[in-house]
Amino acid sequence: PIPVWLDCDPGNDDVFAILLVLFHPRFNLLGISTVHGNAPLEMTTHNTLALLDLLQVYNVKVYEGSKRPLKIPPHYAFGVHGTTGLGGVTLPKKTINKPAKDMYYIEAMRSAICEHQGEICLVSTGTLTNISKLIAKYPEVKDKIRYIAIMGGAFNFGNVTPFAEFNIHTDPHAASSVIAEFGDKVILTPLNLTHTAVATEWVRKQIYNDVEGDNRRCSEIRKFFHDILMFYGQAYRENFGMTEGPPLHDPLALYSLLPFVDDAFEEYGYKYVQQPIKVVLDGEHQGETVVSKENTPGVYVGSEVDTKKFWQSVLVALKNAEVH
């Protein structure tokens, strides 16, 4: 399995990335760091811990990361994720899992990277604040990681402004430095690709109950993920007019490691273009990802994936989560 560190801001779609990284046999989760983003840091941390409780996972350390972007004020995505960051579900206020306090998150990430150097992949499903601080303090870690998979960016449209995608827009300075510094280790999963991974009614049915047409009560875990999709779907309908279902951005960024690590692009129906990418830092286009003319190492920008296969992986993870 691929050793992975996950940096996230749960987040209705982040929780699916956590499900996949925990319960798909191809991944070995080393640790989680949380970041401000969809909701304030206290909430994204609480959501992560409460989800691990629900999944009865007690051996994963969760480090609390950055509260705010590097240079601009924070802003959240309550309209899409609800006021707690996880709309549609109520989680207990007290959690069994607690934030890890043995180290600062930067030190924890660095030590995981050193221990698994050459193999470890970073996965970012939130703003890039934590990771930009990590490489500012320890630039040498860049050479030690295999890939960094980032959910972020959009080409020719946006979901916060007509130009920018949320994760990049929320901390453009951090995104700009991470993309520039990691160069050809970056696997970018932009909205253009995630909008092909829509949780349609078929998907929602499979999530609710793995046997089609079977009326047996679905498990607490299935109900949780299904309720989230119902809320998220409603938000996408209202905010973006997407009627078929919500796109599940974050788990797709994690999944996109597989074609690269396996060097089997056809098998995953995966296509990309390799391009130097820059982030617009100011003005009306702040947070926009643009193809730059500079001669910098290009980022892998995902453009196509076999979504059927992707959903199968999510469903495998869900089944494993139920029986574990």
Binding footprint of ligand BDR on the chain (CB under 6 A): 11, 13-14, 38, 77, 80, 125, 151, 159, 165-167, 249-250
Q: Which does 159 bind (CB under 5 to 8 A by kind): ligand BDR, Ca ion, none?
A: ligand BDR
Q: Which stretch binds Ca ion (CB under 5 A): 8-16, 62-70, 212-220, 223-231?
A: 8-16
* Residues in contact with 39: Cβ distance below 8 Å, sequence separation at least 6, in sequence order: 9, 11, 47, 76, 77, 78, 81, 83, 84, 85
| Cβ 184 vs Cβ 137: under 8 Å | no
Nearest residue (CB) to Ca ion, 11 versus 276: 11
Nearest residue (CB) to Ca ion, 116 versus 123: 123
Name the residue among 137, 139, 142, 74 with its Cα closest to residue 105.
Answer: 137
Helix 14-23, helix 307-323: angle, nearest 10: 70
- Look up residue 188 and give its two tokens: 């970018």
81 is catalytic: no
33 near Ca ion, judged by CB under 5 A: no
Measured from the Cβ of residue 241, the count of other Cβ atoms closer than 10 Å reads 7
Q: Which of 116, 169, 173, 249 is catalytic?
A: 249
Q: How many residues bind Ca ion (CB under 5 A)?
A: 6
User: Which residue carries 């607690």 as its tokens?
Assistant: 98
Q: Which does 31 bind (CB under 5 to 8 A by kind): Ca ion, ligand BDR, none?
A: none
Residue 295 exposed, middle or buried by CB count within 10 Å (0-12, 13-18, 19+):
exposed
- Residue nearest ligand BDR, CB atom distance: 166
Question: Per-residue x/- marks for Ca ion, 245-264, CB under 5 A?
Answer: -----x--------------
Measured from the Cβ of residue 113, the count of other Cβ atoms closer than 10 Å reads 24
User: Which residue carries 């974050």 as its tokens?
Assistant: 250
- Look up residue 171 and give its two tokens: 């901390």
Q: Output the smallest distance, CB 237 to ligand BDR, in A.
A: 16
Question: Per-residue x/- marks for Ca ion, 117-146, CB under 5 A?
Answer: --------xx--------------------
Alpha carbons 274 and 169: distance in angstroms, whole number? 22
Q: Output the smallest distance, CB 159 to ligand BDR, in A.
A: 5
* DSSP annotation of 304: E
Q: Is 128 helix (H, G, I), strand (E, B) or coil?
A: coil
Alpha carbons 170 and 163: distance in angstroms, whole number? 13
11 near Ca ion, judged by CB under 5 A: yes
Nearest residue (CB) to ligand BDR, 11 versus 87: 11
Q: Output the smallest distance, CB 18 to ligand BDR, in A.
A: 12
Cα 318 vs. chain centroid, distance in angstroms?
17
Nearest residue (CB) to ligand BDR, 12 versus 206: 12
Residues that bind Ca ion (CB under 5 A): 9, 11, 14, 125-126, 250
Catalytic residue annotation: 249
